[in-house]
Amino acid sequence: MPGSASLADELVARYVERNRRAYRDQYLAIVLTALDSFIQLSTDPTSVRLAAWFHRAVHEPGGTPSEDAEASARLAEQLLPQYGVPPIRIAEVSRLIRLTGDLAAPPPDAYAPPRRDANGDVLLDAVNAILASDPSRYAVHTAEVRRDASDRKAALEHRYDEVRELLDGHLYRTQLARQRLGPVARVNLESELAGLDSELPAPWRGWQQAALTATATFTAIAAAVVAIAASGASWQTPAAQDEPGWPPIALAVLSFFSAPILFRCARSASQRARLIAGAVLAIAVTGLLVAWAQVPRTNVAVGVGLRVPLMISALLLLLIAGAAALVASLLRTRTARFLPARNLGQQLAWLAAPAAVALTLLLIIQPLSRGYVLGSNERVEGTPGQAGKATPSVLDGSVAWVSGSVAGTGAEEAIGTRYGLAIPRPSGVVEMLDAATGELRWRYSRSDSDEKPVIAATGNGDYVLAQFADVGYLLLDANTGQRKAAWPGRTRDRYIQQSQPLLTGERSGKLHGVDPSGHERWTYDSGDCTDLGAIATAETVVTFVSHTCDDRPDEMAALDVQSGKKLWTKTSDTYRRPVVVAGLVVVAEPGGDSDVPAALTAIEPRTGDVRWRWEVPRTWSCRTLLNAAGKYLIVVDCPGPSSLENRKSIVTAIDANTGLTAWQTQAPVSPRVKVTVTADGRVISLSRGATGCIANVISQTGFRQVRLPTGISCNRDPRAVGNLVLTSGSGTVIALR
């Protein structure tokens, strides 16, 4: 070029300006020297050389490469026409200069693009030759570039990302540059990356890798634990005699030995590690398909055992473990050389992963497994319509209705709800009968229970609480039979102290206020070596505590039924047979060695004050039954010695508001027969007459006997639900008119 010396002097002057901190004349010398090595690969060497001279002729401290390249290209477009450079060459030089604004690594297929840019490849490889310079010169260059930035921390982070991106690519675009410069450039970049690692705070880097490794390890261990639990359960209920027991054991062994193997796989980027993790994943998927195909088909006689959801859960955990190890191995291929030693993020990941797995076992797998078994083994039959209202039994000797077959169940086990009469049956069945007609409204049955459930009405008659053997307490909607809740495992071994309001007790002397759903509102602990009894009104729970290991006197305390807050406490005698009548708690005062109480005492539950005291006649000598009937306390006893010769019973109604006797009736009925009391105060029992079964009715109006139709079993106890009187037949429940 004519006059090129003056242009060179002007450009060199720009590279050695005093305000420059980076891209000085040494940098330009390295670029031009490298360009001489492979300038022969270009199609326009003059344009490439001019672009190399100009590409950082303009540089502002803190400026980005793209800004420098754009300003330098405009400078070339301004100066080159003065030296007679043709416009077409000036355009090529400007294009090449602007290419240097992005020095990112070329894509993996850059060595064979559809259309090669020979001039651009040569220039960019020459510009990147600084990466392969002498290590000390390279260190000075990188220090100058970082010092040139206005925000040092941001510059470090940006440079760290640039170096990682460069190392993940080819570094150079031409094959010649790769061969001559590539190895040295990678050594320089690796050294720079190590230095950046020491300067940059990296408290969290690598937590993803650590979390995946920990997940793979501990999830495999969790799969072994769940598989061991599955070995103690059956695949179906009742368990088949030929049911193999080895699958859960084999799965537990496989999962246990997979844990250390997957740990190593997750920390390796080798093809072998990915194959092993994939094999574990494939085994888990295959096991899931086989287990799902072998799930028992439930019917009345066969149900799903707990082993089914536990085995499926164990296989799912093993699947997650294999997938986590595989992803960790694939991720490590890209990130292995950038992972620092253990830092805060990795340590927290190793702590969080086992905690998450443990919570998954407790809060997800266990409830879901139990819920699956509960839902798979239950059936609700019937389409209940409007519930009928029972007609009170007047006991005229006729029958109001006869239910369908309820084999193995008598009327004495029926309970009343707002929507009918609930009756338990053998083989895990609860039936709801219409109180007006005796027709079946719904039937709830379970395949995993072959015993008769224990039932109670709760929630003001809206629910039936049924205890099934080996299942626990289930809350059934009294209107539809649908299960509304299943009590958690910790409440399964408690006994129902009272169903309305709902109280549960423990043998250890604890009392719990429980919602129908099983949610525990409060706990009252009477202490060691105590016997605890309780009874409750709508607002207050009255407890009776007797000490069995020392001479401390017995105690009586009151608790708020909603909060469990103690309202009062005081010493007391050993009260027995508590009953709630008209909002009062009536107890029997002990009568010495006799089973007959000395008196009946009514206690105000909120304050503990004695409302009244009714002395029991000394001549009474039987069991003194206490029952509530509206505002009356019905007392049943015998007016004479408790002997076989005594065939008299006496019924007394005490007004709960005043403690005075409202009426009293004596009848020639054996005091040893079982009686039931209706809501209006009638005391009813059954006896066998010369011609059949007879109902004995003792009431305020006196005593009468009613001959009952044939088919009623006199040896089964009657049952009063409100004012409806139920008796038992042969496999039936009979309502008396």
> Is residue 259 located within the same domain as residue 370?
yes
Residue 40 makes CB contacts below 8 A (sequence gap 6+) with none
Instruction: Among 35-44, 74-83, 488-497, 541-550, name the one with the lowest average pLDDT.
Output: 488-497
Q: Would you give the distance in Å from CA 48 to the centre of its chain?
A: 67
What's the average model confidence in pLDDT over 591-614? Answer: 88
Indicate the pLDDT class of residue 104, thresholds 50, 70 and 90. Answer: low
For residue 44, pLDDT beyond 70: yes
Q: Closest Cα partner for 411 from 663, 144, 170, 721?
A: 721
Q: Would you give the distance in Å from CA 641 to the centre of its chain?
A: 62
Predicted local distance difference test score (pLDDT) of residue 157: 75
> Is residue 188 located within the same domain as residue 237?
no
CA distance 654 to 671: 19
Instruction: Examine residue 631 and state whether it is found in any structural domain, yes or no.
Output: no
Predicted local distance difference test score (pLDDT) of residue 600: 94
pLDDT, greater one: 341 or 428: 428
Crossing angle between the packed helical segments 366-376 and 307-335, to the nearest 10 degrees: 140
User: What is residue 140's DSSP assignment?
Assistant: H
What's the average model confidence in pLDDT over 660-672? Answer: 93
CB 41 within 8 A of CB 35: no
Predicted local distance difference test score (pLDDT) of residue 72: 94
pTM > 0.85: yes or no:
no
> Is residue 255 located within the same domain as residue 132?
no
> Is residue 177 located within the same domain as residue 298?
no
Instruction: Examine residue 723 and state whether it is found in any structural domain, yes or no.
Output: no
User: What is residue 714's DSSP assignment?
Assistant: T
> Is residue 88 located within the same domain as residue 221?
no
Distances (CA, A) of 623 to 5, 150, 656: 130, 98, 21
Q: Give the tens place of pLDDT for each residue, 624-646.
A: 899 999 999 999 999 888 787 78
Instruction: Among 281-295, 537-551, 673-687, name the one with the lowest average pLDDT.
Output: 537-551
Tell me the residue type at 119: N
Instruction: Examine residue 238 and state whether it is found in any structural domain, yes or no.
Output: yes
CA distance 149 to 160: 14
Indicate the pLDDT class of residue 319, thresholds 50, 70 and 90. Answer: very high
Predicted local distance difference test score (pLDDT) of residue 106: 61
Q: Would you state the structure tokens that stand for residue 311, as one six-digit string?
A: 């085995």
User: What is residue 170's DSSP assignment?
Assistant: -
Tell me the residue type at 55: H
DSSP 259-326: HHHHHHHHT--SHHHHHHHHHHHHHHHHHHHHHHHTPPPP-SS-EE-THHHHHHHHHHHHHHHHHHHH
Predicted local distance difference test score (pLDDT) of residue 3: 78
CB 332 within 8 A of CB 259: no
CA distance 98 to 66: 7
> Is residue 193 located within the same domain as residue 227?
no
Instruction: Examine residue 410 and state whether it is found in any structural domain, yes or no.
Output: no
Distances (CA, A) of 463 to 418, 431, 510: 9, 13, 25
Q: Give the tens place of pLDDT for each residue, 156-184.
A: 777 877 887 888 778 898 999 999 999 99
Q: Would you state the structure tokens that stand for residue 360, as one six-digit string?
A: 């998954």
Q: Would you state the structure tokens that stand for residue 187, as one six-digit string?
A: 């050594």
Dihedral of CA atoms 223, 224, 229, 230 in degrees, nearest 10, equals 70
CB 21 within 8 A of CB 105: no
Q: Would you state the structure tokens that stand for residue 415, as one six-digit string?
A: 């309970």
Q: Closest Cα partner for 587 from 553, 620, 633?
A: 633
> Is residue 220 located within the same domain as residue 178?
no
pLDDT, greater one: 194 or 502: 502
Predicted local distance difference test score (pLDDT) of residue 81: 92
Predicted local distance difference test score (pLDDT) of residue 554: 87
> Is residue 165 located within the same domain as residue 312?
no
> Is residue 111 located within the same domain as residue 188?
yes
Instruction: Among 434-438, 539-543, 712-716, name the one with the lowest average pLDDT.
Output: 712-716
For residue 555, pLDDT beyond 70: yes
Instruction: Count the Cβ atoms, other than its own, within 10 Å of residue 700.
Output: 14
CB 204 within 8 A of CB 343: yes
Q: Would you state the structure tokens that stand for residue 72, as one six-digit string?
A: 């330098």
Mean pLDDT of the chain: 88
Instruction: Examine residue 428 and state whether it is found in any structural domain, yes or no.
Output: no
pLDDT, greater one: 331 or 655: 655
Q: Would you state the structure tokens that stand for residue 133, as one six-digit string?
A: 């310079």
> Is residue 151 located within the same domain as residue 176?
yes
For residue 209, pLDDT beyond 70: yes
How many independent structural domains does the chain possess?
2
Distances (CA, A) of 308 to 235, 478, 485, 519, 704: 6, 30, 22, 28, 60
- Sign of the dihedral through C-alpha 387, 390, 391, 395: positive
For residue 734, pLDDT beyond 60: yes
Distances (CA, A) of 697 to 24, 243, 299, 679, 719: 118, 57, 46, 14, 13
Cα three-residue angle 255-372-520, rounded to 5 degrees: 105
Instruction: Examine residue 615 and state whether it is found in any structural domain, yes or no.
Output: no
Instruction: Count the Cβ atoms, other than its own, within 10 Å of residue 334.
Output: 11
Indicate the pLDDT class of residue 338, thresholds 50, 70 and 90. Answer: low
> Is residue 156 located within the same domain as residue 261?
no
For residue 475, pLDDT beyond 90: yes
Tell me the residue type at 407: A
Q: Would you state the structure tokens that stand for residue 277, as one six-digit string?
A: 């993790």
Q: Closest Cα partner for 556 from 564, 613, 565, 567?
A: 567
Cα three-residue angle 428-506-609, rounded to 5 degrees: 120
Last residue of a domain, one of 376, 402, 429: 376
Instruction: Examine residue 587 and state whether it is found in any structural domain, yes or no.
Output: no
Q: Give the tens place of pLDDT for each residue, 352-377.
A: 999 999 999 988 998 899 889 988 99
Q: Give the tens place of pLDDT for each residue, 246-272.
A: 999 999 999 999 999 999 999 888 899
Instruction: Among 22-31, 108-117, 205-214, name the one with the lowest average pLDDT.
Output: 108-117
Last residue of a domain, one of 177, 199, 221: 199
Q: Would you state the structure tokens that stand for residue 713, as one six-digit string?
A: 């079993």
Strand pairing report for 702-707 and 236-237: unpaired
What's the average model confidence in pLDDT over 659-677? Answer: 93
User: What is residue 58's DSSP assignment?
Assistant: S
Last residue of a domain, one of 376, 406, 433: 376
What residues pair up with 485 in beta bridges, in sequence order? 475
Instruction: Residue 130: give its domain's CATH number.
Output: 1.10.3210.10
- Sign of the dihedral through C-alpha 637, 639, 642, 647: negative
Q: Give the tens place of pLDDT for each residue, 441-463.
A: 999 999 888 889 999 999 999 99
CA distance 181 to 368: 61
Instruction: Examine residue 543 and state whether it is found in any structural domain, yes or no.
Output: no
- Residue numbers of the domain that contains 195: 4-199
Distances (CA, A) of 170 to 131, 347, 432: 13, 34, 78
> Is residue 122 located within the same domain as residue 217?
no
Predicted local distance difference test score (pLDDT) of residue 342: 66
For residue 405, pLDDT beyond 80: no
71-109 in b/e form (b: 16+ CB < 10 A) is bbbebbbebbeeeebeeeebebbbebbbbbbebebbeee
**Percent of the chain whose pLDDT exceeds 70:** 94
